[in-house]
Amino acid sequence: MSSDLSYREIPFFNYRKAFVHYEEEFVEIFRDVLHRGAYILQKDLEEFEAHLCDFLGVKHAFGVGNGTDALTIALLAADLKPGDEVLFPSHTMVASAGAIVYAGGVPVPVDIGPDHMMDAADLERAITDKTRAIMPVQLNGRTCNMDAIQAVADKHGLFIVEDAAQALGSQFKGKCAGTFGAAGTFSFYPAKVLGCLGDGGGVVTNDDRVADRICMLRDHGRLHDAEIRTWGMNSRLDNLQAALLDFQLRTYESTMQRRREIAAMYEERLGDLPEVVLPPGPSDDPNHYDVYQNYEIEAERRDDLREFLKANGIGTIIQWSGKAVHQWPGLGFDVHLPKTEVFFTRCMMLPMNMVLSNEDVEYICSKILAFYGK
C-alpha cells in the first residue's frame, strides 16, 4: 500500500483556497456590480433566479437571506398555522427544526432509515391530529426516496416542504431535490456545494399562489410594485451574492461531476474495508443522483481514527457537534430515536470539496487503511 505518501495538510474545508480559485473572476464581478451600484433586488438576482428555475426545472425561484430563512418563509408561504406539527428527521442541522419553530409550528423529530435520512416507515408513528406537514431533509447531497414520503403525505393529507439546503442538483428518479413538495429550500452558505461569500438562500415552488407569498414574505409584504399587501420580513439575497452564484452556476455540472468523482475514488479505495460504512456510490442506484455535499461515513473506533487522521494532517468533522437535534437538552425534546442515536456514535465526515486533488484523496484513503492495519 502507499501509506508512505509524505505528510500533507488537508483541512476539512479550505475557505481561502475556495476564494483564490476564482479570485480574478470574483473581483471582476465585484467591480461590475459595484460600479452599477446594484445592491438590492436588481437584475443579477433576477437572472440568477431565472437560471435556477431552468436548472431545477421549476416554475419560481426566489433568493433569500439564508437557508434558515428560506425554510421559515417556505413553511409560512405553504400556510403553516400556529401550533401545526411538522415532522422532520433528527439527523439534520438544528436550522431545519428552528425554522419550524419560527414559522409558528411544532417540530416533531423522527428516526432515520438505512439511508441515514428520514425514515418513511417511522412517520406514521409520529403523526397526530395536529400534524400538518413533512419536512424531508435531502442530506449530504442525496435525495430521500420521495415516493415513500409522498405516499404518507397523501394518505394523511399533509403538505411537504423540502429542506434541500445540501442538495442543489441532486435527483430522485430524475426529479430535482427541492421540487417535490409545496416548496423547497436551498442554502448558499460558503461551504455548500453552491456557496456564496457569506449567507444566502433560495426558495423554489411550482405553485403560483405560494410563489406570491414567498415574494411578499421576503420583502416587507411587497410583490413587484410598492404596494404593501401583507406583513413580511426582510430576507433578500444580496444582488452581489446573486451575481457570484450565477457565475458559479454556469459550471455547476462539472462541480457535481467532480464531487461524484471524489466519491467514486473513496469507494474504490475504502469500499472493501469492513471497519467503515460508506455512503452509496455514485452509480449504485439509478434512482438517485447524488451531489455529495458531504461524505459522511460510519467508522469503528471513530474517535481514535479522527485523532490518527488529525496527527497526519487530515481534517475531519462530526457533523453538528456530534448530536442529533432531539439530543440537545436546551431544545426540550423528550423522545428516543434509537437508530439516529447509534448513528451519532459512529459517524464522521471526510474532506469533500472542490480544492481536493486526487493525490489528497489517495493520501486520506491510505491513512485510513493504515489506521486499520491494511
Ligand X SMILES: *Cc1c(COP(=O)(O)O)cnc(C)c1O
**65 vs 282 by CB, closer to ligand X:** 65
* Rg of the chain, C-alpha, whole Å: 21
**165 vs 273 by CB, closer to ligand X:** 165
Residues that bind ligand X (CB under 6 A): 66-68, 92-93, 95-96, 137, 163, 165-166, 187, 189, 199, 201
C-alpha cell at 1: 500500500
Provide the minimum distance between the beta carbon of 374 and ligand X in the complex, in angstroms, as a whole number.
33
Provide the minimum distance between the beta carbon of 288 and ligand X in the complex, in angstroms, as a whole number.
17
Provide the minimum distance between the beta carbon of 120 and ligand X in the complex, in angstroms, as a whole number.
18
Per the DSSP assignment, residues forming a β-bridge with 15 are none
**203 vs 369 by CB, closer to ligand X:** 203
Residue tagged 394518505 (cell numbers): 155
**SS3 readout for 215-271:** HHHHECCECCCCCECCCCCECCCCHHHHHHHHHHHCCHHHHHHHHHHHHHHHHHHHC
**229 vs 323 by CB, closer to ligand X:** 323
**354 vs 370 by CB, closer to ligand X:** 354
**67 vs 169 by CB, closer to ligand X:** 67
Task: Return the residue nearest ligand X (CB atom).
Answer: 67
Provide the minimum distance between the beta carbon of 185 and ligand X in the complex, in angstroms, as a whole number.
8
**170 vs 187 by CB, closer to ligand X:** 187
Provide the minimum distance between the beta carbon of 167 and ligand X in the complex, in angstroms, as a whole number.
9
**Phi and psi torsions of 228, nearest 5°:** -90, 115
Provide the minimum distance between the beta carbon of 93 and ligand X in the complex, in angstroms, as a whole number.
4
Per the DSSP assignment, residues forming a β-bridge with 10 are 314
Count of Cβ atoms closer than 10 Å to residue 359 Cβ: 11
Give the integer Cα–Cα distance in Å for 279 and 140.
9
Per the DSSP assignment, residues forming a β-bridge with 276 are 299
102 within 8 A of 247, measured Cβ to Cβ: no
DSSP string, 321-352: GG--GGG-GGGT-----HHHHHHHHHEEEE--
Q: Which of 142, 147, 132, 129 is nearest to 88 (CA)?
A: 132
Cα 184 to chain centroid distance, Å, stands at: 11
**294 vs 366 by CB, closer to ligand X:** 294
Provide the minimum distance between the beta carbon of 69 and ligand X in the complex, in angstroms, as a whole number.
7
Provide the minimum distance between the beta carbon of 200 and ligand X in the complex, in angstroms, as a whole number.
7
User: Nearest 5 degrees, angle CA 169-CA 211-CA 177?
Assistant: 20
